[in-house]
Structure 1
Amino acid sequence: MVGLAVGALLWSAGCGLGEPSTGSDGAGGEGAKGGAAAGTALAALETSTVKEEGSKDGYGRERFGSAWADVDGNSCGTRDDILKRDLAEVEYKDGDDCVVASGVLKDDPYSGEDVEFRRGASKVDIDHLVSLSDAWKKGASEWEPAKRIAFANDPLNLLAVNASPNRAKGDGDAAKWLPPNKTYRCAYVAGQVAVKKKYELWVTAGERDAMRTILDGCPEEKLPEGDAPTEAPDRFSAK
Protein backbone atom coordinates (compact mmCIF):
# COMPACT_ATOMS: atom_id res chain seq x y z
CA MET A 1 0.00 0.00 0.00
CA VAL A 2 1.07 3.58 -0.61
CA GLY A 3 2.53 4.88 2.59
CA LEU A 4 4.45 1.83 3.87
CA ALA A 5 7.73 3.74 3.68
CA VAL A 6 6.07 6.78 5.14
CA GLY A 7 4.77 4.80 8.10
CA ALA A 8 8.26 3.48 8.76
CA LEU A 9 9.70 6.98 8.67
CA LEU A 10 7.08 8.37 11.00
CA TRP A 11 7.91 5.57 13.42
CA SER A 12 11.60 6.41 13.39
CA ALA A 13 13.06 7.57 16.67
CA GLY A 14 12.21 11.16 17.45
CA CYS A 15 13.87 13.46 19.94
CA GLY A 16 12.87 15.10 23.16
CA LEU A 17 11.31 18.48 23.67
CA GLY A 18 13.68 21.21 22.52
CA GLU A 19 14.69 24.20 24.59
CA PRO A 20 12.16 27.07 24.70
CA SER A 21 12.54 29.72 22.04
CA THR A 22 14.70 32.66 23.05
CA GLY A 23 14.40 35.14 20.20
CA SER A 24 11.51 37.55 19.66
CA ASP A 25 10.39 35.52 16.65
CA GLY A 26 10.40 32.28 18.62
CA ALA A 27 13.66 30.99 17.13
CA GLY A 28 16.22 29.18 19.23
CA GLY A 29 18.83 26.45 19.00
CA GLU A 30 21.50 25.75 16.41
CA GLY A 31 19.09 24.73 13.66
CA ALA A 32 17.46 28.13 13.43
CA LYS A 33 20.68 30.12 14.00
CA GLY A 34 22.85 28.32 11.48
CA GLY A 35 20.26 27.74 8.77
CA ALA A 36 18.35 24.50 8.46
CA ALA A 37 19.70 21.78 6.18
CA ALA A 38 17.84 21.03 2.97
CA GLY A 39 15.43 18.13 3.23
CA THR A 40 14.80 18.60 6.93
CA ALA A 41 11.48 19.33 8.58
CA LEU A 42 12.98 22.50 10.05
CA ALA A 43 13.90 23.82 6.60
CA ALA A 44 10.38 23.10 5.36
CA LEU A 45 8.87 24.84 8.37
CA GLU A 46 10.88 27.98 7.73
CA THR A 47 9.29 28.30 4.28
CA SER A 48 5.73 27.67 5.50
CA THR A 49 3.05 30.31 5.04
CA VAL A 50 2.09 31.97 8.33
CA LYS A 51 -1.41 33.44 8.70
CA GLU A 52 -4.10 33.86 11.30
CA GLU A 53 -6.44 30.94 11.89
CA GLY A 54 -9.52 31.05 9.69
CA SER A 55 -13.14 30.37 10.57
CA LYS A 56 -14.57 26.94 11.30
CA ASP A 57 -17.87 28.01 9.72
CA GLY A 58 -19.15 25.43 7.25
CA TYR A 59 -16.98 22.61 8.58
CA GLY A 60 -18.36 19.09 8.86
CA ARG A 61 -16.80 15.65 8.54
CA GLU A 62 -18.89 15.10 5.42
CA ARG A 63 -16.96 17.89 3.68
CA PHE A 64 -14.08 15.40 3.48
CA GLY A 65 -16.18 12.58 2.03
CA SER A 66 -17.19 9.24 3.48
CA ALA A 67 -14.91 8.06 6.27
CA TRP A 68 -12.06 5.76 5.24
CA ALA A 69 -12.85 5.63 1.53
CA ASP A 70 -10.87 3.20 -0.63
CA VAL A 71 -9.21 5.97 -2.62
CA ASP A 72 -6.21 3.85 -3.66
CA GLY A 73 -8.44 1.19 -5.20
CA ASN A 74 -6.97 -1.80 -3.36
CA SER A 75 -10.45 -2.96 -2.21
CA CYS A 76 -9.67 -2.15 1.45
CA GLY A 77 -10.82 0.91 3.34
CA THR A 78 -8.18 3.40 4.45
CA ARG A 79 -8.62 2.54 8.13
CA ASP A 80 -7.77 -1.11 7.55
CA ASP A 81 -4.84 -0.12 5.35
CA ILE A 82 -3.34 1.90 8.21
CA LEU A 83 -4.05 -0.81 10.78
CA LYS A 84 -2.24 -3.33 8.57
CA ARG A 85 0.68 -0.94 8.20
CA ASP A 86 1.07 0.02 11.86
CA LEU A 87 -0.02 -3.03 13.90
CA ALA A 88 1.92 -6.20 14.71
CA GLU A 89 0.44 -9.69 15.13
CA VAL A 90 -2.41 -8.81 12.77
CA GLU A 91 -5.32 -11.21 12.39
CA TYR A 92 -8.09 -10.75 9.86
CA LYS A 93 -11.84 -11.16 10.08
CA ASP A 94 -13.11 -14.50 8.74
CA GLY A 95 -9.89 -15.22 6.91
CA ASP A 96 -10.22 -12.00 4.92
CA ASP A 97 -6.90 -10.30 4.13
CA CYS A 98 -8.44 -6.85 4.35
CA VAL A 99 -10.58 -6.37 7.47
CA VAL A 100 -8.32 -6.32 10.52
CA ALA A 101 -9.89 -8.13 13.48
CA SER A 102 -7.07 -7.81 16.01
CA GLY A 103 -3.46 -6.86 16.47
CA VAL A 104 -1.02 -5.08 18.75
CA LEU A 105 0.18 -1.51 18.48
CA LYS A 106 3.77 -1.84 19.66
CA ASP A 107 5.34 1.19 21.36
CA ASP A 108 2.41 3.48 20.64
CA PRO A 109 3.91 6.77 19.42
CA TYR A 110 1.74 8.93 21.68
CA SER A 111 2.11 7.02 24.96
CA GLY A 112 5.03 4.64 24.42
CA GLU A 113 2.84 1.72 25.55
CA ASP A 114 1.81 -1.49 23.79
CA VAL A 115 -1.90 -1.32 23.00
CA GLU A 116 -4.09 -4.23 21.92
CA PHE A 117 -6.49 -3.71 19.05
CA ARG A 118 -9.81 -5.56 18.96
CA ARG A 119 -12.33 -4.62 16.33
CA GLY A 120 -15.54 -3.18 17.76
CA ALA A 121 -14.27 -1.95 21.12
CA SER A 122 -10.79 -0.79 20.36
CA LYS A 123 -8.29 1.23 22.35
CA VAL A 124 -6.60 2.12 19.07
CA ASP A 125 -7.59 5.12 16.95
CA ILE A 126 -6.45 6.19 13.52
CA ASP A 127 -5.35 9.78 13.99
CA HIS A 128 -5.11 12.52 11.40
CA LEU A 129 -1.79 14.16 12.30
CA VAL A 130 -3.29 17.37 10.96
CA SER A 131 -6.93 17.19 11.98
CA LEU A 132 -9.64 17.78 9.43
CA SER A 133 -11.01 20.79 11.26
CA ASP A 134 -7.55 22.32 11.67
CA ALA A 135 -7.01 21.88 7.93
CA TRP A 136 -10.41 23.47 7.27
CA LYS A 137 -9.41 26.60 9.20
CA LYS A 138 -6.06 26.83 7.44
CA GLY A 139 -6.89 26.45 3.80
CA ALA A 140 -9.03 23.36 3.18
CA SER A 141 -12.29 25.32 3.20
CA GLU A 142 -11.25 26.66 -0.21
CA TRP A 143 -10.41 23.29 -1.74
CA GLU A 144 -12.33 21.26 -4.26
CA PRO A 145 -13.97 18.12 -2.77
CA ALA A 146 -11.49 15.79 -4.50
CA LYS A 147 -8.59 17.37 -2.63
CA ARG A 148 -10.36 17.19 0.74
CA ILE A 149 -11.13 13.49 0.22
CA ALA A 150 -7.50 12.79 -0.70
CA PHE A 151 -6.31 14.68 2.39
CA ALA A 152 -8.59 12.72 4.73
CA ASN A 153 -7.25 9.41 3.40
CA ASP A 154 -3.59 10.19 2.76
CA PRO A 155 -1.32 7.71 4.61
CA LEU A 156 1.14 10.55 5.19
CA ASN A 157 -1.43 12.14 7.50
CA LEU A 158 -2.60 8.95 9.25
CA LEU A 159 -1.24 7.02 12.21
CA ALA A 160 -2.53 4.23 14.47
CA VAL A 161 -2.32 5.49 18.05
CA ASN A 162 -3.52 4.94 21.61
CA ALA A 163 -7.09 6.25 21.74
CA SER A 164 -6.76 7.96 25.13
CA PRO A 165 -4.12 10.59 24.32
CA ASN A 166 -5.53 10.99 20.83
CA ARG A 167 -8.91 12.00 22.20
CA ALA A 168 -7.20 14.46 24.53
CA LYS A 169 -5.63 15.99 21.41
CA GLY A 170 -8.98 16.66 19.80
CA ASP A 171 -8.39 18.92 16.80
CA GLY A 172 -5.51 20.83 18.38
CA ASP A 173 -2.47 21.93 16.43
CA ALA A 174 1.11 21.79 17.75
CA ALA A 175 0.62 24.98 19.76
CA LYS A 176 -2.21 23.32 21.69
CA TRP A 177 -1.17 19.66 21.96
CA LEU A 178 1.91 17.46 21.66
CA PRO A 179 2.27 13.72 22.36
CA PRO A 180 2.89 12.92 26.03
CA ASN A 181 5.66 10.62 24.76
CA LYS A 182 8.42 13.22 24.35
CA THR A 183 10.64 10.89 22.33
CA TYR A 184 8.10 11.01 19.50
CA ARG A 185 7.63 14.77 19.36
CA CYS A 186 10.23 15.39 16.65
CA ALA A 187 8.72 12.79 14.32
CA TYR A 188 5.20 14.01 15.16
CA VAL A 189 5.92 17.64 14.31
CA ALA A 190 7.90 16.65 11.22
CA GLY A 191 4.87 14.69 10.05
CA GLN A 192 2.59 17.68 10.54
CA VAL A 193 4.98 19.95 8.64
CA ALA A 194 5.14 17.43 5.78
CA VAL A 195 1.35 17.24 5.51
CA LYS A 196 0.91 21.01 5.62
CA LYS A 197 3.58 21.55 2.97
CA LYS A 198 2.19 18.86 0.68
CA TYR A 199 -1.31 20.31 0.82
CA GLU A 200 -0.26 23.98 1.03
CA LEU A 201 -1.94 24.59 4.36
CA TRP A 202 -0.75 27.51 6.42
CA VAL A 203 0.32 27.62 10.05
CA THR A 204 -0.41 30.26 12.67
CA ALA A 205 2.46 32.18 14.27
CA GLY A 206 1.94 30.34 17.55
CA GLU A 207 1.86 26.99 15.78
CA ARG A 208 5.02 27.82 13.82
CA ASP A 209 6.82 28.79 17.02
CA ALA A 210 5.72 25.61 18.82
CA MET A 211 6.91 23.49 15.90
CA ARG A 212 10.21 25.33 15.74
CA THR A 213 10.81 24.83 19.45
CA ILE A 214 10.57 21.07 18.94
CA LEU A 215 12.54 20.91 15.69
CA ASP A 216 15.35 23.12 16.99
CA GLY A 217 16.09 20.23 19.33
CA CYS A 218 16.42 17.81 16.39
CA PRO A 219 17.48 19.94 13.39
CA GLU A 220 18.43 16.89 11.30
CA GLU A 221 14.92 15.37 11.48
CA LYS A 222 14.04 14.58 7.87
CA LEU A 223 10.82 15.73 6.26
CA PRO A 224 8.63 12.65 5.68
CA GLU A 225 7.51 12.00 2.12
CA GLY A 226 4.44 10.38 0.66
CA ASP A 227 3.39 9.86 -2.94
CA ALA A 228 -0.38 9.51 -2.55
CA PRO A 229 -2.22 11.81 -5.00
CA THR A 230 -3.62 15.09 -3.70
CA GLU A 231 -6.90 14.51 -5.55
CA ALA A 232 -9.22 11.54 -5.11
CA PRO A 233 -10.63 9.68 -8.14
CA ASP A 234 -13.82 11.03 -9.71
CA ARG A 235 -15.91 8.17 -8.29
CA PHE A 236 -15.72 9.78 -4.82
CA SER A 237 -17.71 12.79 -3.73
CA ALA A 238 -18.09 15.11 -0.75
CA LYS A 239 -20.53 17.86 0.12
Structure 2
Amino acid sequence: MQKIRAKTLSVTAALLIAASLAACTPADTKAPAPASAAETSPATTTSATLAPAEETTKAPAKEKAKDKATKAAAGTALEQLETIAIKGRAPKTGYSRDQFGNGWMDPDRNGCDARNDILQRDLTNETFKPGTNNCVVLTGTLADPYTATTIDFVRGDKSSTLVQIDHVVALSDGWQKGAQQLSREQREAFANDPLNLMAADGPTNGAKGDSDAATWLPPNKGFRCEYVALQTAVKAKYGLWMTQAEHDAIRNILTNSCPDQPVPADQGGVDVPVKAKEEPAPAAQEPVQQEAPVDMATGGDDRVITSYANCSEVKAAGVAPIRVGDPGWDQKFDRDGDGVGCES
Protein backbone atom coordinates (compact mmCIF):
# COMPACT_ATOMS: atom_id res chain seq x y z
CA MET A 1 0.00 0.00 0.00
CA GLN A 2 2.81 2.34 0.87
CA LYS A 3 4.59 1.34 -2.33
CA ILE A 4 1.51 2.18 -4.36
CA ARG A 5 1.15 5.59 -2.64
CA ALA A 6 4.83 6.37 -3.17
CA LYS A 7 4.61 5.44 -6.81
CA THR A 8 1.52 7.58 -7.22
CA LEU A 9 3.29 10.56 -5.61
CA SER A 10 6.29 10.07 -7.89
CA VAL A 11 4.12 10.08 -10.99
CA THR A 12 2.24 13.12 -9.79
CA ALA A 13 5.48 14.97 -9.05
CA ALA A 14 6.84 14.11 -12.48
CA LEU A 15 3.71 15.44 -14.15
CA LEU A 16 3.86 18.68 -12.15
CA ILE A 17 7.51 19.22 -13.07
CA ALA A 18 6.80 18.55 -16.76
CA ALA A 19 3.87 20.96 -16.73
CA SER A 20 5.96 23.55 -14.99
CA LEU A 21 8.74 23.25 -17.56
CA ALA A 22 6.28 23.43 -20.45
CA ALA A 23 4.85 26.65 -19.03
CA CYS A 24 8.27 28.30 -18.57
CA THR A 25 9.80 27.44 -21.97
CA PRO A 26 7.65 29.77 -24.20
CA ALA A 27 8.29 32.69 -21.85
CA ASP A 28 12.06 32.21 -21.98
CA THR A 29 12.31 31.90 -25.80
CA LYS A 30 9.75 34.52 -26.63
CA ALA A 31 11.12 37.30 -24.41
CA PRO A 32 14.76 37.51 -25.42
CA ALA A 33 14.34 36.76 -29.15
CA PRO A 34 11.95 39.57 -30.10
CA ALA A 35 13.73 41.98 -27.73
CA SER A 36 17.08 41.28 -29.35
CA ALA A 37 15.66 41.59 -32.85
CA ALA A 38 13.81 44.78 -31.98
CA GLU A 39 16.84 46.42 -30.40
CA THR A 40 19.43 45.33 -32.95
CA SER A 41 17.58 45.71 -36.24
CA PRO A 42 16.76 49.46 -36.00
CA ALA A 43 20.33 50.32 -35.03
CA THR A 44 21.75 48.40 -37.99
CA THR A 45 19.20 49.84 -40.41
CA THR A 46 19.80 53.43 -39.25
CA SER A 47 23.56 53.11 -39.62
CA ALA A 48 23.29 51.66 -43.13
CA THR A 49 20.90 54.40 -44.22
CA LEU A 50 22.86 57.41 -42.90
CA ALA A 51 26.18 56.57 -44.53
CA PRO A 52 24.97 56.73 -48.15
CA ALA A 53 22.88 59.81 -47.36
CA GLU A 54 26.01 61.65 -46.18
CA GLU A 55 27.90 60.77 -49.38
CA THR A 56 24.98 61.80 -51.57
CA THR A 57 24.85 65.29 -50.09
CA LYS A 58 28.63 65.85 -50.19
CA ALA A 59 29.34 64.68 -53.76
CA PRO A 60 27.37 67.42 -55.57
CA ALA A 61 29.00 70.04 -53.35
CA LYS A 62 32.46 68.88 -54.40
CA GLU A 63 31.52 68.86 -58.08
CA LYS A 64 30.00 72.32 -57.77
CA ALA A 65 33.14 73.67 -56.14
CA LYS A 66 35.28 72.12 -58.88
CA ASP A 67 33.12 73.65 -61.63
CA LYS A 68 33.33 77.04 -59.96
CA ALA A 69 37.10 76.83 -59.72
CA THR A 70 37.60 75.93 -63.41
CA LYS A 71 34.97 78.19 -64.97
CA ALA A 72 36.61 81.21 -66.60
CA ALA A 73 35.31 84.69 -65.91
CA ALA A 74 33.68 86.61 -68.74
CA GLY A 75 35.98 88.84 -70.75
CA THR A 76 39.13 86.99 -69.77
CA ALA A 77 41.77 85.43 -71.98
CA LEU A 78 41.01 82.13 -70.26
CA GLU A 79 37.41 82.30 -71.44
CA GLN A 80 38.51 83.21 -74.97
CA LEU A 81 40.97 80.31 -74.98
CA GLU A 82 38.07 77.87 -74.73
CA THR A 83 36.76 79.12 -78.10
CA ILE A 84 39.94 78.07 -79.91
CA ALA A 85 39.76 74.80 -81.83
CA ILE A 86 42.33 72.12 -81.00
CA LYS A 87 43.84 70.22 -83.93
CA GLY A 88 47.11 68.77 -85.10
CA ARG A 89 49.73 70.84 -86.91
CA ALA A 90 49.27 70.86 -90.69
CA PRO A 91 52.24 70.38 -93.05
CA LYS A 92 54.38 73.43 -93.77
CA THR A 93 54.24 72.63 -97.46
CA GLY A 94 53.75 75.72 -99.63
CA TYR A 95 54.72 78.24 -96.96
CA SER A 96 56.62 81.38 -97.91
CA ARG A 97 56.69 84.94 -96.62
CA ASP A 98 55.11 86.07 -99.88
CA GLN A 99 51.94 84.15 -98.97
CA PHE A 100 51.32 86.95 -96.44
CA GLY A 101 51.99 89.89 -98.75
CA ASN A 102 55.03 91.54 -100.24
CA GLY A 103 56.70 93.19 -97.25
CA TRP A 104 55.15 95.67 -94.83
CA MET A 105 51.84 97.19 -95.89
CA ASP A 106 49.62 100.02 -94.67
CA PRO A 107 46.46 98.25 -93.48
CA ASP A 108 45.06 101.16 -91.48
CA ARG A 109 45.51 103.60 -94.40
CA ASN A 110 47.37 106.21 -92.37
CA GLY A 111 50.16 106.63 -94.89
CA CYS A 112 52.78 104.75 -92.83
CA ASP A 113 53.68 101.09 -93.19
CA ALA A 114 52.97 98.69 -90.34
CA ARG A 115 56.62 98.44 -89.26
CA ASN A 116 56.94 102.17 -88.64
CA ASP A 117 53.52 102.25 -87.00
CA ILE A 118 54.69 99.68 -84.45
CA LEU A 119 57.98 101.48 -83.85
CA GLN A 120 56.02 104.66 -83.14
CA ARG A 121 53.69 102.79 -80.80
CA ASP A 122 56.30 100.85 -78.84
CA LEU A 123 59.27 103.23 -78.71
CA THR A 124 59.65 106.36 -76.62
CA ASN A 125 61.59 109.52 -77.45
CA GLU A 126 61.40 108.64 -81.13
CA THR A 127 62.67 110.89 -83.92
CA PHE A 128 61.64 110.80 -87.58
CA LYS A 129 63.34 111.15 -90.92
CA PRO A 130 62.60 114.57 -92.42
CA GLY A 131 60.24 114.60 -95.36
CA THR A 132 58.41 111.38 -94.40
CA ASN A 133 55.43 112.96 -92.61
CA ASN A 134 56.63 111.48 -89.31
CA CYS A 135 56.43 107.96 -90.71
CA VAL A 136 60.01 106.73 -90.85
CA VAL A 137 61.37 106.34 -87.32
CA LEU A 138 65.08 107.13 -87.05
CA THR A 139 65.76 106.67 -83.33
CA GLY A 140 63.98 105.78 -80.12
CA THR A 141 64.11 103.77 -76.91
CA LEU A 142 62.46 100.39 -76.42
CA ALA A 143 61.48 98.94 -73.06
CA ASP A 144 61.70 95.38 -74.37
CA PRO A 145 58.87 93.21 -72.99
CA TYR A 146 60.61 89.93 -73.82
CA THR A 147 63.79 90.57 -71.83
CA ALA A 148 62.78 93.42 -69.48
CA THR A 149 65.75 95.43 -70.76
CA THR A 150 66.09 98.85 -72.40
CA ILE A 151 67.36 99.02 -75.98
CA ASP A 152 68.34 102.09 -77.99
CA PHE A 153 67.02 101.92 -81.53
CA VAL A 154 68.98 103.57 -84.35
CA ARG A 155 67.90 102.98 -87.94
CA GLY A 156 70.59 101.53 -90.15
CA ASP A 157 71.87 98.39 -91.82
CA LYS A 158 73.33 96.93 -88.62
CA SER A 159 71.90 98.82 -85.68
CA SER A 160 68.22 98.51 -86.58
CA THR A 161 68.38 94.71 -86.26
CA LEU A 162 68.76 95.16 -82.50
CA VAL A 163 65.06 95.98 -82.47
CA GLN A 164 62.83 93.84 -84.64
CA ILE A 165 59.10 93.69 -85.23
CA ASP A 166 57.91 90.31 -84.01
CA HIS A 167 54.79 88.54 -85.20
CA VAL A 168 53.34 87.38 -81.87
CA VAL A 169 51.81 84.46 -83.73
CA ALA A 170 54.55 83.62 -86.22
CA LEU A 171 53.52 83.54 -89.87
CA SER A 172 54.79 79.98 -90.28
CA ASP A 173 52.90 78.88 -87.18
CA GLY A 174 49.76 80.52 -88.52
CA TRP A 175 50.26 78.82 -91.89
CA GLN A 176 50.34 75.40 -90.23
CA LYS A 177 47.27 76.13 -88.09
CA GLY A 178 44.65 77.46 -90.44
CA ALA A 179 46.11 80.37 -92.42
CA GLN A 180 46.40 78.17 -95.51
CA GLN A 181 42.62 78.33 -95.71
CA LEU A 182 42.50 82.14 -95.44
CA SER A 183 42.30 84.36 -98.49
CA ARG A 184 45.38 86.33 -99.52
CA GLU A 185 43.79 89.52 -98.22
CA GLN A 186 43.13 87.89 -94.85
CA ARG A 187 46.73 86.68 -94.62
CA GLU A 188 48.02 90.16 -95.46
CA ALA A 189 45.86 91.61 -92.70
CA PHE A 190 47.16 88.95 -90.30
CA ALA A 191 50.79 89.81 -91.14
CA ASN A 192 50.27 93.57 -90.70
CA ASP A 193 47.77 93.65 -87.83
CA PRO A 194 49.05 95.69 -84.84
CA LEU A 195 47.37 93.15 -82.56
CA ASN A 196 49.88 90.60 -83.86
CA LEU A 197 52.94 92.89 -83.96
CA MET A 198 55.38 93.94 -81.26
CA ALA A 199 58.76 95.65 -81.19
CA ALA A 200 61.17 93.29 -79.45
CA ASP A 201 64.81 92.49 -78.84
CA GLY A 202 66.21 91.19 -82.14
CA PRO A 203 68.26 88.21 -80.90
CA THR A 204 65.43 87.05 -78.63
CA ASN A 205 62.97 87.29 -81.48
CA GLY A 206 65.36 85.26 -83.61
CA ALA A 207 65.53 82.57 -80.93
CA LYS A 208 61.75 82.36 -80.90
CA GLY A 209 61.53 81.67 -84.63
CA ASP A 210 58.14 80.18 -85.48
CA SER A 211 57.65 78.51 -82.09
CA ASP A 212 54.31 78.46 -80.32
CA ALA A 213 53.68 78.71 -76.57
CA ALA A 214 54.36 75.01 -76.07
CA THR A 215 58.01 75.40 -77.10
CA TRP A 216 58.90 79.06 -76.44
CA LEU A 217 57.92 81.75 -73.94
CA PRO A 218 59.49 85.16 -73.23
CA PRO A 219 62.44 85.00 -70.82
CA ASN A 220 60.71 87.79 -68.89
CA LYS A 221 58.23 85.77 -66.81
CA GLY A 222 56.36 88.93 -65.87
CA PHE A 223 55.22 89.31 -69.49
CA ARG A 224 54.09 85.76 -70.12
CA CYS A 225 50.46 86.30 -69.15
CA GLU A 226 50.08 89.19 -71.59
CA TYR A 227 52.02 87.30 -74.26
CA VAL A 228 49.80 84.19 -74.25
CA ALA A 229 46.71 86.40 -74.03
CA LEU A 230 47.86 88.16 -77.21
CA GLN A 231 48.46 84.85 -78.98
CA THR A 232 45.00 83.68 -77.98
CA ALA A 233 43.37 86.91 -79.17
CA VAL A 234 45.12 86.78 -82.55
CA LYS A 235 44.16 83.16 -83.17
CA ALA A 236 40.58 83.85 -82.15
CA LYS A 237 40.40 86.87 -84.47
CA TYR A 238 41.64 84.98 -87.53
CA GLY A 239 40.04 81.61 -86.77
CA LEU A 240 43.34 79.77 -86.33
CA TRP A 241 43.65 76.69 -84.17
CA MET A 242 46.09 75.42 -81.54
CA THR A 243 47.71 72.08 -80.93
CA GLN A 244 46.81 70.29 -77.70
CA ALA A 245 50.26 70.98 -76.23
CA GLU A 246 50.03 74.66 -77.11
CA HIS A 247 46.53 74.97 -75.66
CA ASP A 248 47.59 73.22 -72.46
CA ALA A 249 50.66 75.44 -72.05
CA ILE A 250 48.60 78.62 -72.38
CA ARG A 251 45.88 77.31 -70.10
CA ASN A 252 48.40 76.41 -67.41
CA ILE A 253 49.90 79.90 -67.45
CA LEU A 254 46.54 81.65 -67.34
CA THR A 255 45.03 79.32 -64.73
CA ASN A 256 47.98 79.28 -62.35
CA SER A 257 49.31 82.82 -62.74
CA CYS A 258 46.58 85.13 -64.01
CA PRO A 259 43.05 83.68 -64.34
CA ASP A 260 41.64 87.20 -64.63
CA GLN A 261 43.99 88.30 -67.44
CA PRO A 262 41.72 90.33 -69.75
CA VAL A 263 41.36 89.85 -73.49
CA PRO A 264 43.77 92.38 -75.09
CA ALA A 265 42.17 95.48 -76.58
CA ASP A 266 42.18 95.34 -80.37
CA GLN A 267 42.81 98.98 -81.22
CA GLY A 268 44.85 98.51 -84.36
CA GLY A 269 42.07 99.47 -86.70
CA VAL A 270 42.53 96.33 -88.80
CA ASP A 271 39.46 94.27 -89.60
CA VAL A 272 39.68 90.77 -90.99
CA PRO A 273 38.64 91.05 -94.65
CA VAL A 274 35.67 89.00 -95.74
CA LYS A 275 36.91 85.94 -97.54
CA ALA A 276 36.04 86.01 -101.22
CA LYS A 277 34.47 83.08 -103.00
CA GLU A 278 36.92 80.40 -104.02
CA GLU A 279 37.34 81.34 -107.68
CA PRO A 280 40.60 81.26 -109.64
CA ALA A 281 41.68 84.82 -110.33
CA PRO A 282 43.58 85.78 -113.50
CA ALA A 283 47.29 86.15 -112.85
CA ALA A 284 47.32 89.70 -114.23
CA GLN A 285 44.90 90.88 -111.54
CA GLU A 286 47.06 89.79 -108.62
CA PRO A 287 49.55 92.70 -108.72
CA VAL A 288 46.68 95.18 -108.95
CA GLN A 289 45.17 93.77 -105.74
CA GLN A 290 48.51 94.13 -104.00
CA GLU A 291 48.92 97.75 -104.99
CA ALA A 292 45.37 98.87 -104.16
CA PRO A 293 46.09 99.63 -100.48
CA VAL A 294 49.13 101.71 -101.43
CA ASP A 295 47.17 103.85 -103.85
CA MET A 296 44.51 104.58 -101.23
CA ALA A 297 47.11 105.49 -98.65
CA THR A 298 48.67 108.10 -100.94
CA GLY A 299 45.42 109.59 -102.08
CA GLY A 300 45.17 107.65 -105.34
CA ASP A 301 47.17 107.65 -108.55
CA ASP A 302 46.01 107.59 -112.15
CA ARG A 303 48.96 105.50 -113.29
CA VAL A 304 48.50 101.75 -113.49
CA ILE A 305 51.55 100.25 -111.81
CA THR A 306 52.14 96.57 -111.41
CA SER A 307 55.67 96.38 -110.07
CA TYR A 308 59.29 97.26 -110.72
CA ALA A 309 61.75 94.42 -111.02
CA ASN A 310 64.68 96.48 -109.75
CA CYS A 311 65.96 99.99 -109.17
CA SER A 312 66.93 100.32 -112.84
CA GLU A 313 63.26 100.12 -113.78
CA VAL A 314 62.38 102.56 -110.99
CA LYS A 315 64.91 105.06 -112.33
CA ALA A 316 63.84 104.47 -115.93
CA ALA A 317 60.27 105.29 -114.91
CA GLY A 318 61.50 108.55 -113.39
CA VAL A 319 60.19 107.82 -109.89
CA ALA A 320 63.49 107.36 -108.05
CA PRO A 321 63.98 107.67 -105.16
CA ILE A 322 60.89 105.62 -104.36
CA ARG A 323 59.32 105.80 -100.89
CA VAL A 324 57.00 103.76 -98.72
CA GLY A 325 53.47 104.37 -100.00
CA ASP A 326 54.54 105.22 -103.56
CA PRO A 327 52.94 103.14 -106.34
CA GLY A 328 55.19 100.23 -107.16
CA TRP A 329 57.00 100.33 -103.82
CA ASP A 330 58.75 97.12 -102.79
CA GLN A 331 60.64 96.43 -99.58
CA LYS A 332 63.57 95.06 -101.61
CA PHE A 333 64.38 98.59 -102.78
CA ASP A 334 65.04 99.72 -99.18
CA ARG A 335 68.44 98.32 -98.30
CA ASP A 336 69.01 100.43 -95.19
CA GLY A 337 65.48 100.18 -93.84
CA ASP A 338 64.79 103.92 -93.84
CA GLY A 339 61.64 103.78 -95.95
CA VAL A 340 63.34 105.23 -99.05
CA GLY A 341 64.57 103.06 -101.91
CA CYS A 342 66.73 103.40 -105.01
CA GLU A 343 68.42 106.47 -103.59
CA SER A 344 71.57 106.23 -105.69
Query: What is the count of residue pairs matched by the alignment?
Result: 206
**Counterparts of 2:105 and 2:194, CA distance in 1:** 12
* Offset at residue 70 of structure 1 (A): 1.2
Equivalent of residue 135 in structure 1, options 174, 192, 201: 174
**Does the 8 Å CA contact 1:31/1:219 hold for their aligned counterparts?**
no
Give structure 1 stretches of 5+ with no counterpart: 1-29
Partner residue, 2:195: 156
Partner of 2:261: 221
Q: Structure 2: which amino acid aligns with 1:221?
A: Q
Q: Which consecutive unaligned segments of at least 5 residues does structure 2 have? A: 1-65, 275-287, 292-344
Residue aligning to 2:245: 206
Match of 1:113 among 145, 149, 157: 149
Cα distance, 1:32 vs structure 2 = 8.6
Taking the TM superposition and a 5 Å limit, the aligned residue runs for 1:6-25 are none
Is residue 2:217 matched to residue 1:181? no
| Superposed structure 1 runs of 4+ greater than 4 Å apart | none
SS at match of 2:273: coil
Greater share of residues in helix: 2
Counterpart pick for 2:93 among 42, 47, 57 = 57
- 2:124 equivalent in structure 1: 88
Q: Secondary structure at the match of 2:290?
A: coil
Q: Give the 3-state SS of the residue equivalent to 2:140 in structure 1.
A: strand
Any idea what SS the aligned residue of 1:91 has?
A: strand
2:229 alignment partner in structure 1: 190
Report the structure number with the largest CA radius of gyration: 2
Give the C-alpha shift of residue 95 in structure 1.
5.3
* Structure 2 counterpart of 1:74, from 83, 103, 110: 110
SS at structure 2 position matched to 1:173: coil
For 1:109, give the aligned amino acid.
Answer: P
The answer to which structure, 1 or 2, has the higher relative contact order (CA under 8 A, 6+ apart) is: 1
Identity %: 50
Tell me the alpha carbon deviations over residues 69-107 of structure 1, each in whole angstroms, 9 at most, x when there is no partner.
Answer: 11221111110000000000100012531100010002x
Aligned to 2:51: none
Please report the TM-score for the alignment, with normalisation by the length of structure 1. 0.82
What is the alpha-carbon root mean square deviation over aligned residues? 1.8
**Aligned with 2:149: secondary structure?**
coil
